[in-house]
Structure 1
Amino acid sequence: MMIMIMIMITPISTTRSPSHTVDTNTQFIKTSCGITSYPDLCFTTLSSYASEVQNSPKLLATVALSETLKTVRFTSTAMSNMSKNRQDLTAREAEALSDCVEELGDSVEELHRSIEEMGTDKKKNDGSDFELRMSDIKTWVSAALTDEDTCVDGFSDKSMDGSEIKSAVREHIVNVAHMTSNALALVNHYALLHSD
């Protein structure tokens, strides 16, 4: 009788363990996203990486940067296609779109450099070397955010008020800027913790 009870209990306890781990990892992401300016967007973007990130602030910041980079690349392509395929653009809209594509290109480069620098972090994780790398990463991510803001500013001309193209660009760029802001917050958090 005792053997039967143990056999019945064992499968239940082993099926709970991985689920509990996933719940813990997901909770880690939810809690970490609470420090960002856009926690819902942060959680939606990063929660599917819970098992990969586990409870590592470094991995979470790196994944946030990678997801932001993907979104910036997608947005840059969308802006470029808009610029090429829309025949109804005014000269001012065409110029603003072209500038925006250029700004997003800079943003892609800065985010890419940040991700690479996060990867080199494994070599030496102590003292001023770590602080210098984190400072560089924060500078590049901040610059990417500035580039995205500059893109939106290009559409601030009153002549573009109410234009369909301005609304489309703004929708894309606001999302990208929010993701970049969240990534920067998670990088800052990791730098403060100074742990793997």
Structure 2
Amino acid sequence: MEASSSHHGLAILSIVLTSQIALTLAYPPFLNDRNIEYIKSSCSTTTYPKLCYRCLSVYASSINTSPKLLVHTALNVTLRASKATSRLMVKISRFHGLEPRVAAAMADCIEVIGDSVDELQQSLGELGHISSSNISLTMSDVQTWVSAALTDEDTCMDGFAGNNMNGYAKTMARKRIIKVAHLTSNALALINNYASSQGYYLP
């Protein structure tokens, strides 16, 4: 009975936080064809273009055709999703009845996702200080922070791998981490494109 209640509680928590993320990512401003095409073209160079377009097209009018604003928005979307996922995992970890291995993986993942959130915040801070005189150093720093965030997210996913890690909590957590990792990967691709457009090529 207790396990059933925990499962039900996790399901409700998942639905509530999913709705919050959806509202955060999908407040559509006025759109026009030129801005939409710019988003579509930019997203076509990412690893997950459909996800990229779905998350960024709603901000097309504020991005316009600015590669810097595109990168800034992509990082903001990724950061918000990372924070929401971190909150979800903390809540899941407090449920009773988690398998020991799932609980241990959850604890490790909460730590590295916290690092990922910090690194994404650092990247946004660096991007805010960019200028024509420091673009090479700034873009290198931004790439370093976002790459580190992606590594942390991959580390979290690896912790939930294996057939001995079955369970609803593991499935829900891994699904959210994969989404955040895909957003981070897309943001990194857009960062590289922006750097190239400014005449700076990342290694």
> Residues of 2 paired with 1:41 and 1:187: CA distance?
16
Number of aligned positions between the proteins: 170
* Superposition deviation, residue 156 in structure 1: 2.1
> Residues of 1 paired with 2:114 and 2:122: CA distance?
13
Aligned positions of 1:1-196 closer than 5 A: 22-84=32-94, 86-121=95-130, 124-126=131-133, 129-160=134-165, 162-194=166-198
Structure 2 gaps, min length 5:
1-29
> Residues of 2 paired with 1:60 and 1:74: CA distance?
21
- Once the two structures are superposed, residues 79-121 of structure 1 have per-residue CA deviations (whole angstroms, 9 ceiling, x without a partner) of 000001x211122111110111111100000000101111111
* Superposition deviation, residue 163 in structure 1: 2.0
| TM-score, normalised relative to structure 1 | 0.83
> Residues of 1 paired with 2:160 and 2:57: CA distance?
33
Pick the structure with greater CA Rg: 1
Q: Which one-letter code corresponds to 2:159 in the other structure? A: G
> Residues of 1 paired with 2:115 and 2:198: CA distance?
28
> Residues of 1 paired with 2:150 and 2:109: CA distance?
13
Structure 1 gaps, min length 5:
1-18
> Residues of 1 paired with 2:157 and 2:42: CA distance?
28
* Superposition deviation, residue 155 in structure 1: 1.3
Q: Which one-letter code corresponds to 2:170 in the other structure? A: K
| TM-score, normalised relative to structure 2 | 0.80
> Residues of 2 paired with 1:76 and 1:134: CA distance?
26
